[in-house]
Amino acid sequence: MAESRPNEDAIRQALHDFPDPETGRSIVQLQQVHGLQLADDRLRVDLGLTSFAAPLREETRAELESFIRGHFPSLQEVEVRVVPHDRPAERIGEIGITSKAVVAVGSGKGGVGKSTIAATIALGLKNSGCKVGLLDADVYGPSIPHLLGVNERPQAVERKLQPVLASGLRVMSMGFLVPPGEAVVWRGPMLHGAITQFLRDTEWGDLDYLIIDMPPGTGDIALTLSQLLPLSGAVVVCTPQDVALLDAVKAIAMFRKVHIDVLGLVENMSFFECPGCGNRYEIFGHGGAKRRAAELDVPFLGEVPINVNLRIRGDEGTTAANFDDEVTAGHLNAICLALVKSITAGRRESPALPSLSVL
Architecture of domain 91-349: 3-Layer(aba) Sandwich (3.40)
Reported confidence tier of residue 177, pLDDT bands at 50, 70, 90: confident
Residue length, the chain? 359
Q: DSSP string spanning 249-260?
A: HHHHHHHHHTT-
Can you give the pLDDT at residue 359?
43
How many helices (H) and strands (E) would you count in the chain? 10, 16
* Domain coordinates in residue numbering, the chain: 15-84, 91-349
Does 3.30.300.130 match the CATH number of domain 15-84? yes
What is the Cα–Cα distance from 356 to 268, expressed in whole angstroms? 43
Half-sphere exposure of 189 (CA within 13 A, CB side): 0
Can you give the pLDDT at residue 302?
96
What is the Cα–Cα distance from 89 to 127, expressed in whole angstroms? 19
pLDDT digits (tens, 9 = 90+) for 178-210: 766 666 666 666 777 778 888 989 999 999 999
Collect all residues with Cβ–Cβ distance below 8 Å to 72 and sequence separation of at least 6.
Answer: 3, 6, 10, 11, 14, 43
Give the mean model confidence (pLDDT) for residues 114-129: 97
Supply angle C-alpha 311, 143, 320, rounded to 5. 50
Contacts 24+ apart (CB under 8 A), 34-42: 34/83, 34/85, 35/83, 36/8, 36/11, 36/12, 38/6, 38/7, 38/8, 38/11, 40/76, 41/5, 41/74, 41/75, 41/76, 41/77, 42/75, 42/76, 42/77, 42/79
pLDDT digits (tens, 9 = 90+) for 338-356: 999 999 998 988 887 665 4
Can you give the pLDDT at residue 1?
39
pLDDT digits (tens, 9 = 90+) for 127-162: 999 999 999 988 777 899 999 999 888 998 988 899
Mean pLDDT of the residues in the chain: 89
Of 132, 118, 127, nearest to 208 (Cα)? 132
Can you give the pLDDT at residue 6?
87
DSSP state of 55: G
What is the Cα–Cα distance from 121 to 248, expressed in whole angstroms? 19
CA 153 centroid distance within chain: 26
CA torsion through residues 196, 165, 208, 138, sign: negative
Count CB atoms within 10 A of the CB of residue 132: 26
Measured between alpha carbons, how far is residue 46 from residues 29, 30, 68, 228, 314 in Å?
Answer: 15, 14, 13, 38, 41
| Contact yes or no for 95/226 (Cβ under 8 A) | no
